[in-house]
A and B are shown apart, each in its own frame.
Chain A
Amino acid sequence: MDNILNLFNILSQGLFTTILIFILTLLFAIPLGIVVAIAQNSKNKILNAIIKIYILIIRGTPMMLQIIFVYFAPYYLFKLSYDRFLAVIIAFVINYAAYFSQIFRSGILSIPKGQKEAAFTLGFSKTQTFFKIILPQVIKRILPSMSNEVISLVKTTSLAQIIGVTEVFALAQKQASFQFSILPLCIAALIYLALCTIITFVFNKLEKKFSYYTIT
Chain B
Amino acid sequence: MNEILKVENLVKKYNDSYAVKNVSFTVNKGEVLVIIGASGSGKSTILRCINQLEKIDGGNVTINEDSMIKEMKNGKVIYNTKDILNKMNLECGMVFQNFNLFPHLSVLQNVTEAMVHVLKLDYKEAENKALKILENMGLKGKERKYPCNLSGGEQQRASIARTLAIAPQIIFMDEPTSALDPELVGEVLKVVKKLASQNRTMVIVTHEIQFAKEIADRVIFMCDGKIIEEGIPKDVIDNPKKKRTKEFLKRYSN
Contact = CB atoms under 8 A, between A and B. Distances in A.
Contacts of A123: 86, 89-90, 114, 118-119, 166
Interface in B148-180: 148, 159, 162-163, 165-166
Interface string A55-89: 00000000000000000000000000000000000
Contacts of B98: 112, 114
Contact of A124 (B53, B93, B118, B148): B118
A180 interface: no
Nearest to B48: A117
Given A123-B86, A124-B114, A132-B113, A137 B100 contact: no
A136 B90 contact: no
B108 interface: no
19 contacts: A112-B100, A114-B98, A118-B94, A118-B101, A118-B162, A120-B53, A120-B89, A121-B92, A121-B94, A122-B114, A123-B114, A123-B118, A124-B117, A132-B117, A136-B104, A137-B104, A213-B103, A213-B104, A213-B146
A215 B118 contact: no
Nearest to B159: A118
A120 B52 contact: yes
Contacts of A155: none
Interface string B100-128: 11111000000001100111000000000
Nearest to A113: B100
B147 interface: yes
B136 to A, nearest CB: 18
Given A114-B96, A117-B53, A122-B113, A133 B102 contact: yes
A216 B96 CA distance: 15
A214 B103 contact: yes
A128 interface: yes
A178 interface: no
B51 interface: yes
Interface string A113-149: 0110111111110001000110011001000000000
Contact of A122 (B103, B118, B146): B118
Nearest to B162: A122
Given A114-B96, A128-B117, A121 B102 contact: no
A118 B96 contact: yes
A118 B146 contact: no
A122 B109 CA distance: 13
A114 B165 CA distance: 18
Contacts of A216: 103, 147-148
Contacts of A212: 146
A214 B90 CA distance: 29
A154 B98 CA distance: 42
Nearest to A111: B103
Nearest to B87: A123
A120 B73 CA distance: 27
Given A117-B96, A121-B93, 13 more contacts: A117-B53, A118-B94, A118-B96, A118-B100, A118-B101, A118-B159, A121-B53, A122-B113, A122-B118, A122-B163, A213-B103, A213-B148, A216-B147
Nearest to A120: B53
Contact of B147 (A120, A121, A124, A213): A213
Contacts of B146: 212-213
A121 B51 CA distance: 7
Give the interface centre of A114, A123, A132, A140 by most chain B CB atoms within 10 Å. Answer: A123
Interface in A87-127: 112, 114-115, 117-124
A117 B100 contact: yes
Nearest to A123: B118
B50 to A, nearest CB: 10
Given A120-B53, A122-B114, A115 B166 contact: no
Contacts of A117: 53, 94, 96, 100
Contacts of A124: 114, 117-118
A212 to B, nearest CB: 6
Which 8 A/B pairs are nearest by Cβ-Cβ distance? A114-B100, A118-B100, A123-B118, A122-B114, A121-B94, A214-B148, A213-B146, A136-B104
Contacts of A122: 113-114, 118, 162-163, 165-166
Contacts of B114: 122-124
